[in-house]
Amino acid sequence: MDAVRTIRKNLKGSVPLIGFSGSPWTLATYMIEGGSSKAFTKIKKMAFAEPQTLHLLLDKVADSVITYLNAQIAAGAQSVMIFDTWGGVLSPRDYKLFSLQYMEKIVAGLTREYEGNKVPVTLFTKNGGMWLESIAATGCDALGLDWTIDIADAKARVGDKVALQGNMDPSVLYASKERIEQEVQDILAGFGAGEGHVFNLGHGIHLDVPPENAGYFVDAVHKYSKQYHK
């Protein structure tokens, strides 16, 4: 929280400060698997063989995330985002059972207004494009999109119920300046005119991306978004 306060102070209002946490399901995968995983056999074994145990864990983690994010908000975070990186490894039924319901609990427990200002909440599930309507119904303010769904399709499905954040493939940042600019233009055109688009990568930036390419990306968003957004 000292870091949040320090960053907020030094930003001096130039850009919003976004707080974040992993989702209960994603955090639980690391707890149970002991690290990253390809098949998630350990946590899925618990989900299907000992579901009550896993639900007990997920509920406790959700409570902890609520406390954690509310503390970030009190320390100066002006918006918060929940990263459900591994929700997409679940079936539709199990996603709602083991991931979405706990993110919904977090949304309901968060401080949504602080010092007279609204605190928007974004939910992001990687490979979660099939569940956009269900995610939008949680009460969140925005949906994070990865690159596996067309942003125009996402907008058509959820309308203006929530804002959309995304959704350029991070690997495009390995390309030329011209290719990066073209991808930015295509995504902006896909969303179209109007409010409610937070341009972002569809997941985290890769470690070996040249920093100047990330700069080209940011500059392109600033340059080309003006014709679409006020």
Q: What's the confidence (pLDDT) of residue 49? A: 98
The Cα–Cα gap between 202 and 158 comes to 18
Calculate mean pLDDT across residues 31-56. 96
Question: Which residue blocks in 80-227 are alpha helix, DSSP H?
Answer: 92-95, 101-109, 132-136, 151-158, 177-191, 211-224
Average pLDDT over residues 49-64: 98
Residue 163's pLDDT is what?
A: 97
- Label residue 229 by pLDDT band (50, 70, 90): confident
CA pair distance 125, 61, nearest whole angstrom:
17
- Does the pLDDT value for residue 105 go beyond 80? yes
Looking at the predicted structure, is the pLDDT value of residue 230 above 80?
A: no
With a pLDDT cut of 90, the percent of the chain lying above it is: 96
* pLDDT of 50 strictly over 90: yes
pLDDT digits (tens, 9 = 90+) for 187-214: 999 999 999 999 999 999 999 999 999 9
159: left (phi over 0), alpha (psi -120 to 50) or beta: left
Confirm or reject CATH 3.20.20.210 for domain 2-144, answering yes or no.
Answer: yes
pLDDT of residue 111: 97
- The pLDDT, as a whole number, for residue 226 is 92
User: How confident is the model at residue 79, as a pLDDT?
Assistant: 97
pLDDT tens digits along 116-170: 999 999 999 999 999 999 999 999 999 999 999 999 999 999 999 999 999 999 9
Its pTM stands at 0.94
Distance CA 160, CA 118 (A): 18
